[in-house]
Chains A and B, each alone.
Chain A
């Protein structure tokens, strides 16, 4: 699946997007796998209350299942307008 990062999440991880091979069942499981990878992921995901997630471009939550999902995005709370 494609994993996208925006705003300071993108800056901390150092990438706008990447393809991730994972059997994670939920968004939270995927986050756990990413955090275990490297320090920069650990830094980006250290406080989940400061993060929002979109699953296939719909706002979602960390309990959401990942079956058949193609695109996940992580970002801080939005500040439009």
Chain B
């Protein structure tokens, strides 16, 4: 299990290859990647991500441990960046390894649902007309109900 909160970019392919290579008995690897998307109308110059050092790592580690038990995972990887990111840069990724795909898919969704509204990150979108904190969405909070 690995959790990394970092300002540096990561190379998705390298991360997945290394993650998958570590397991002989895991038949399923699922990955999710979050990417900075451009905004229609008012082009995005940057996305700034703030976090709570200490609590962030602890919260992500706890989520990874919970997911590992609940879905019988062989391994979990979570990488989340902070700082100033340009459009199309990768913000974060999760990877899950399990013997069969159902656990790997469900665990990745579980992790993403929790990460969205329980990990202390805050995004701010910078455009030509100013900078705005991204508002949380009710459906992200509601998504936790199914777990």
Contact = CB atoms under 8 A, between A and B. Distances in A.
A6 B52 contact: yes
Contacts of A8: 133
B7 to A, nearest CB: 15
A7 interface: yes
A55 B67 CA distance: 24
A81 B115 contact: yes
Q: Is the interface of B mostly helix, strand, loop or mixed?
A: mixed
Interface stretch (B9-17, B20-28, B98-106, B119-127): B119-127
B92 A57 contact: no
Contact of A78 (B54, B58, B119): B119
Contacts, number: 67
Most buried by B among A54, A59, A79: A79
A79 B122 contact: yes
A78 B117 contact: yes
A76 interface: yes
B107 to A, nearest CB: 15
Contact of A76 (B112, B119, B133): B133
Interface of A: 4, 6-8, 54, 57-59, 73, 75-81
